[in-house]
């Protein structure tokens, strides 16, 4: 991206570009998986080319219908979801969604991948390798692993190591490993992902949580437990990004409750190279684009010439 391009990075303006895994983004704002459909659904309301990039809904080998409703519930400063990884399947994504995204210039697309077994991840990546126009894969390792009695890949170091190695072998594109926050040591899991071949890590996914209707005495979510996201999780996510960034040399993509330019700056100072924005799009569908604009203004007002220089820049003395 050259200075003076439509990104808003004019010669006199702040340079918002960031780089990770050999990918250059015009700014660090990436729409998070599961909160931005397959990107195309948002094209009428968001200028996709003004975002750093977008991550599509988690893709599996076969289409999935997800969990029964209710699947969403708003909590104090957050949101519970148990969508259950509903998606159209990797093949349909290539045939029905990716061609439309490819007609757009300057849109960086990341494909989020999940499976219940290592073979699932391998097969999904194998299908996606055939498509053109995907910048990298983001491996969602937070799903139940039925082959291992409900343990999650993302909460067992040995399983994480194996699934990342499998995915890395299969992938013809850079591999971002998205870590689960439902672990005791995020530093250990970040280290395991790096050793197994991840080109970058992203965190956090949602926190296991639940809510009960005291009147009916029923769970608010049909699945009973769900994932908590939004501003409520931001301080915990920030701590985890900080811990993970200190455990690895590969780039870290931070997320969890980000909604304002100050949030972005905090995550970058904690060690993030780029950030993702999820639940904010539920409160305001244009939140991602607005945030990219506001970030430009923020940098101008705070005389930040090169945003990427903030990464890991927290001052402690
Ligand atoms: C409704 C919903 C669906 C989600 N689906 C996925 C998914 O398919 N794959 C994934 O890796 N993360 C998924 N996530 C997690 C988000 O990408 C993100 O990691 C999390 O919500 C924290 O960021 P936020 O607080 O900005 O939303 C989903 C989150 C929400 C709220």
Distance of CA 285 to the CA centre of its chain: 17
Q: Whose CA is nearest to atom 4 of ligand 1?
A: 34
Query: Under a CB-based contact definition with an 8 Å cutoff, are residues 276 and 293 in contact?
Result: no
Query: Quick one: pLDDT at residue 210?
Result: 96
- Given this model, what pLDDT does residue 84 score? 85
Of 40, 61, 108, 143, catalytic: 143
Which letter does DSSP use for residue 67 in this model?
P
Q: 121 and 58 in contact (C-beta within 8 Å)?
A: no
Residue 4 has a pLDDT of 40
Q: Which is the closest atom of ligand 1 to the Cα of 58?
A: 8
Nearest atom in ligand 1 to the alpha carbon of residue 79 is 31
Neighbours of 228 (CB within 10 A): 25
If one counts every other C-beta atom within 10 angstroms of the C-beta of residue 132, the result is 8
Output the CA 58–ligand 1 centroid distance in Å.
9
Q: Note down pLDDT in tens along the chain; length 317 residues.
A: 444 444 444 456 899 999 999 999 999 999 999 999 999 999 999 999 999 999 999 999 999 998 999 999 999 999 999 998 899 999 999 999 999 999 999 999 999 999 989 999 999 999 999 999 999 999 999 876 556 645 678 999 999 999 999 999 999 999 999 999 999 999 999 999 999 999 999 999 999 999 999 999 999 999 999 999 999 999 999 999 999 999 999 999 999 999 999 999 999 999 999 999 999 999 999 999 999 999 999 999 999 999 999 999 999 98
What residues are in contact with ligand 1 under a 6 Å CB criterion? 32-35, 57-58, 79, 81, 83, 85, 112, 140, 178, 205-206, 229-230, 233, 255-258, 277-280
CA pair distance 225, 156, nearest whole angstrom: 20
Tell me, what's the pLDDT at 229?
97
Most informative mutation of 33, 136, 180, 234 for ligand 1 (most atoms within 8 A of CB): 33
CB 189 within 8 A of CB 160: yes
Residue 308 is among the residues annotated as catalytic for this protein:
no
* Chain position carrying tokens 């439309």: 100
pLDDT for position 142:
80
Distance CA 270, CA 264 (A): 10
Cα separation, 88 vs 24, in Å, equals 28
Is the Cα torsion angle 72, 50, 60, 203 positive or negative in sign? Answer: negative
pLDDT, one tens digit per residue, over 53-108 is 999 999 999 999 989 999 999 999 999 999 988 999 999 999 999 999 999 999 99
Residue nearest to atom 5 of ligand 1 (CA): 34
Distance CA 206, CA 84 (A): 13
pLDDT at 214: 98
Nearest-CA residue for atom 8 of ligand 1: 58
Per-residue model confidence (pLDDT) at position 204: 97
Quote the tokens at residue 243: 């811990």
Residues written for the chain: 317
């Amino acid at each position: 991206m050259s200075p003076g391009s439509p990104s808003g990075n004019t010669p006199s303006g702040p340079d918002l570009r960031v780089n990770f895994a050999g990918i250059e983004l015009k700014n660090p704002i990436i729409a998070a998986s599961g909160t931005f459909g397959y990107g195309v659904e948002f094209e009428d309301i968001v200028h996709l080319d003004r975002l750093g990039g977008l991550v599509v809904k988690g893709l599996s080998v076969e289409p999935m219908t997800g969990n029964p409703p209710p699947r969403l519930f708003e909590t104090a400063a957050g949101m519970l979801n148990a969508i259950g990884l509903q998606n159209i399947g990797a093949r349909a994504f290539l045939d029905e969604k990716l061609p439309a995204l490819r007609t757009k210039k300057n849109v960086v697309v990341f494909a989020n991948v999940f499976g219940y077994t290592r073979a699932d991840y391998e097969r999904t990546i194998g299908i996606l390798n055939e498509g053109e126009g995907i910048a990298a894969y983001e491996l969602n390792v937070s799903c139940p692993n039925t082959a291992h009695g409900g343990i999650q890949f993302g909460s067992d170091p040995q399983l994480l190591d194996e699934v990342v190695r499998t995915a890395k072998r299969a992938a013809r594109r850079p591999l971002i490993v998205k870590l689960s926050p439902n672990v005791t040591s995020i530093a250990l899991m970040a280290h395991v992902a790096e050793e197994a071949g991840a080109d970058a890590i992203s965190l956090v996914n949602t926190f296991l949580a639940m809510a009960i209707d005291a009147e009916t005495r029923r769970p608010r979510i049909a699945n009973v437990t769900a994932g908590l996201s939004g501003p409520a999780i931001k301080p915990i996510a920030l701590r985890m990004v900080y811990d993970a960034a200190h455990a690895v040399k590969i780039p870290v993509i931070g997320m969890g409750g980000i909604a304002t330019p100050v949030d972005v700056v905090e995550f970058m100072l904690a060690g993030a190279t780029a950030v993702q924005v999820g639940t904010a799009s539920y409160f305001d569908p244009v939140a991602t684009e607005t945030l990219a604009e506001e970030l430009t203004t923020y940098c101008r007002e705070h005389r930040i010439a090169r945003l990427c220089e903030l990464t890991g820049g927290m001052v402690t003395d």
